[in-house]
Every structure is written in structure tokens, then in C-alpha cells.
Structure 1
Amino acid sequence: MTLKLDDRDLKILAALSKEGRLSKAELAKRVNLSPTPLWERLKRLEKHGIISGYRAEISLKQVAPHIEVFVTVELEDHRSESFQQFERMVDQHDEIVACWAIGGGLDYILNIITRDIDSYQRLIDTLLAGKTGLARYYTYVVTKPVKSRAQLPLHSLLQDDPVSNPASNR
């Protein structure tokens, strides 16, 4: 059963998706609630899995040299066991920071962050040598980030047709 969200819930989620370190007192003030009702709403949102975690956004360029790569993947065959095997392998490599199963002509998109192109190629070689079922892959090196981790479009997602009626997004 899906939890029904009201405007206060959406304000809480929007504020936290933008600033996850807000104190509960500050968050309560921003959404016009006292701390106790805010705390109850947060616990309810967490219990229903709507808030799945809190994280820090880290500027990798300030920490270490790295490259970010997107890789599209096609598997050799499309049996259930092949998908499961590939997904287990993905989970074993920390450099693969995200993986999406997709429809269409390809099977997966991987987001890989690693030290340099050589370490990326070693990872790919490991995947090809292992029993991963990887048939083909295409590499796309990120040259510069343009937009990332934008505030979630919660209100737009909950409207009937936000694209055809953009004035209703305000």
C-alpha cells in the first residue's frame, strides 16, 4: 500500500533532498511544524521506505584524481540466471557505483568511478575474463558534470501531467 503524502510531507522531503543535514528544529521551522509532529512524520516516512537514507555529497575532485564512466552492457543471453549472475558480479565491485537494468536494445547501464582509464580497463578486463555473461559494452567517459543530484521533482511527479501543463508546477 502506498503512503498518501500531503503538502507537509512533500516539503519535508524536498528540504531533506536538498539539505540532508538540517537539524530537526530547523526542518520543523521550515515546514511550519513543531518538533514532535515533525519527528513523527519523519519516522513514518522512514518506516514506509520513502526516506531510505541520509548521505553526504562528496566532491571527489577535492579528494583524489578520478574518472567517471558510463558503460552500456549487452549480455550474451537473456535467461534469468544470466541476469542474476551479472547483477551479483556488479555488487562485488565498489567502482561500479550504480547499475540500472534497462529495456530496449541493451541490458544495463553502469556508472563507474575509478582512479584512471587504466584502472577502468582492468575492471572491464576482469569482467570479460570472469563468468559474467558480458557480450558487448560501450564506454562513455564523462568530460564534465553538467547537472547532478538536482532537487527531486516531487510535486511534478504527483501531478496528472506536469509536462503538458507547466504552469501548474508553480
Structure 2
Amino acid sequence: MPPGRIKLDDRDIKILTILQSEGRIPKATLAERVNLSPTPCWERLNRLEEAGIIEGYGAMIAESTYGPLTVLFVMMEIESHRTEDFAAFEAAIRDVPEIVECFSVSGGFDYLCKFVTRDLASYQAIIDKLLSNGAGVKRYFSYPVMTSIKKAPIPIQMIADTAR
């Protein structure tokens, strides 16, 4: 097992599964659902948080409640592939709230980013700024989302299989 990782048992997995879908569940109810008394359940939660398995708690916001939004996936290639160029790009996009996710990828491009903006004009303004502010973007391809088909948390069983 890699350093810093903890071994998960069936109760830990059940706790994680419940929290992913019911993040606001009262701790006493969670303890009851995993067949533990509150104190041991609380200790497990603390252990999972301290190990970094639980990064935080949040709400899934229905994007449609904000009116029409434009979601785009954007493949980006940077000019040069030196360590400092990757660092400059990553620093530049951290300050762009409309980039809600960004992944370093292999293949023909360097990054896959998810943008959420009011409209295409807002998106283009962000791209123009990235192209002119030294972020090092060489080229990019935009893929507007027409319909969201699936949005799901990570499969807990996958964690369970690798953490045992």
C-alpha cells in the first residue's frame, strides 16, 4: 500500500458510498446505517478525512437554476514543453473561475479543461485573455456541450478494490 494510504474495510466503503450521495446526512443516522455507535463512526470519519480520502463536503448545484449556461470541453496545447511552461499555464488557469476542471492528458494535446460560462462570447473573452497573457497556449479546440447525459460520483467499489 502506498505511503499515506489507509486500508479500507467494508464499513469505511459503506460510509463513503453514503456520503457521496447524502453528504448532509446526520452523523447519528450515518452511524445507524453502517451499524456503528456514533463515536466509532465519528472516529472513522476523522480517519478518512485525515488520510485525504474525504477531501471535503459540498452540494451539487443544478446548473439550470442559474439560467442558460454554456459548458465547453477544451483541448489545449501549450507552446513549449518545459517544466516552467507547464507551471506557467497551470498558474494562469487557476485564476480563471470559469475553468472548473482541468486535466493534464497524454496524446496530441496537453490539457483538457471544462469551462462553464454565461455564453460563447464570455468563453471567447477568456480564451483571448489566455492567448495574450503569457499562459503559453499554442492551439485549442472547443467542444460545446449540447446535453449532459451522465454526472456521477466516482465508483466507490474501485477505491475499495485498490485500498484493500
1-side partners of 2:38 and 2:154: how far apart? 24
Q: CA RMSD in A?
A: 1.2
Task: Identify which of 76, 90, 110 aligns with 1:107.
Answer: 110
Deviation at 1:29, TM superposition (A): 1.3
Structure 2 counterpart of 1:165: none
Identity %: 48
Give the conservation status (yes or no) of the 8 Å contact 1:3–1:48. yes
Whole-angstrom CA distance in 2 between matches of 1:155 and 1:79: 37
CA distance in 1: counterparts of 2:36 and 2:159, whole angstroms? 24
Q: Distance in 2 between matches of 1:49 and 1:28?
A: 20
| Structure 2 match to 1:49 | 52
Alignment of 1:1-170 (within 5 A): 1=3, 2-148=5-151, 150-159=152-161
CA distance in 2, matches of 1:44, 1:55: 19
Using the size of structure 1 for normalisation, the TM-score is 0.90
Contact 2:71-2:145 at 8 Å conserved across structures: yes
Offset at 1:43? 0.5
SS of 1:155's equivalent? helix
Preserved CA contact (<8 Å) 2:8 2:160: no
Letter in 2 for 1:22: I
Q: Contact between 2:131 and 2:137, CA under 8 Å: does it hold in 1?
A: yes
**Distance of 2:45 and 2:156 partners within structure 1:** 16
Residues 99 and 115 in structure 2, CA contact (< 8 A), matched pair in contact too: yes
Q: Deviations over 1:41-88 (max 9, x none)?
A: 001110111100000011111123211010000111100000000000
Quick one: distance in 1 between partners of 2:88 and 2:39?
A: 46
Higher relative contact order (CA closer than 8 Å, sequence separation 6+)? 2
Q: Can you give the 5+ residue segments of structure 2 that lack an aligned partner in the other structure?
A: none
- For 1:103 and 1:116, the matched residues in 2 are separated by 29
Question: Aligned pair count?
Answer: 159
User: Tell me, which stretches of 5 or more residues in structure 1 are unaligned?
Assistant: 161-170
**Whole-Å separation in 2 of the counterparts to 1:27 and 1:69:** 37
Instruction: Give the deviation of 1:157 after TM superposition.
Output: 4.2
Task: Flag as ranges the 4+ runs of structure 1 deviating above 3 A.
Answer: 156-160
